[in-house]
Amino acid sequence: MKYVCGSFQIVSEREFRDYSDLDTFVTKSGTPGIMLGEDASDYMAFFGIEVRKPFSTDKYRIGVVLDDQRGGPILCPIHCRELLAIGMNNCVHFLNLESGTVAKRLELGCTLHYVLCNDRFLAAVYELGAVVVRASDLKEVAEGKCDVVAEASLSQESLTLISMDEVTTEVNLTSVEKT
């Protein structure tokens, strides 16, 4: 088991063969849960995640519906807020595991490629750029754009995007901490 968000553990992650099996896992188990991605354009892949607090038997289940089969959902802890960011399809859900609610949904308008995070920021990287969210309040604080993203990195001070034609775009994040 690995820790998520400092105070939660992932108990299990698994893929299901269809929506019905995922729905049973999330809603008919007697365990609290939430379903994400039901608005997907096509139901192509189905994942279930079960988390719990350490030293507790209380569990929480998350169902994820993907509109492509490129891989599973992207899990990224937001330590300072006790949230779990779940990247999927064209968005990132910031899930409050205490209340079982989505604290924020970040819509990208195109397919999410991956998520980068550190103690201060989370960057949702998509084909033509990345959106940066401040971890402390989930406010969108910056966006970087370029031709097709080949590589991206996130530090405490900046977001760096490198395009397929090797042009580097750097977004300074030092001024966004207090805004």
Contacts of 46 (CB under 8 A, 6+ apart): 15, 16, 17, 18, 19, 21, 22, 63, 64, 65, 66
Kindly state whether residues 136 and 98 are assigned to the same domain: no
| pLDDT tens-digit readout, 129-173 | 999 999 999 999 999 999 999 999 999 999 999 999 999 999 999
Boundary residue ending a domain (57, 87, 107):
107
Amino acid 7: pLDDT: 66
Question: Is the domain of 40 the same as that of 75?
Answer: yes
Q: Is residue 102 domain-shared with residue 129, that is, in the same domain?
A: no
Express each pLDDT in 25-44 by its tens digit.
999 888 889 999 888 777 88
Mean pLDDT in residue range 13-23: 94
| Residue 113 and residue 43 share a domain | no
In this structure, are 77 and 145 located in the same domain? Answer: no
Question: Do 134 and 178 lie in a common domain?
Answer: yes
Same domain assignment for residues 29 and 103: yes
Whether residue 85 is found in the same domain as residue 146: no
- Answer for the pair 91, 105: CB distance below 8 angstroms, yes or no: yes
Q: The pTM is what? A: 0.86
**What digits encode the pLDDT tens for the residues 53-95?**
777 788 889 999 998 767 789 888 887 677 889 999 899 999 9
Q: Are residues 97 and 50 in the same domain?
A: yes
Altogether, the residues listed in the chain come to a count of 179
Quick one: 100 and 125 in the same domain?
no
Assign residue 166 the CATH number of its domain.
Answer: 2.40.10.360
Claim to verify: residue 69 and residue 39 sit in the same structural domain: yes
Count how many domains the chain has: 2
Containing structural domain, residue 51: 1-107
Q: Which of 107, 136, 165 is the last residue of a domain?
A: 107
1 and 16 fall within a common domain:
yes
Quick one: pLDDT at residue 1?
A: 37
Domain boundary among 72, 91, 107: 107
The dihedral through the CA atoms of 100, 101, 105, 110 has a sign that is positive
In sequence order, the 6+-apart residues with CB closer than 8 A to the CB of 17 are 46
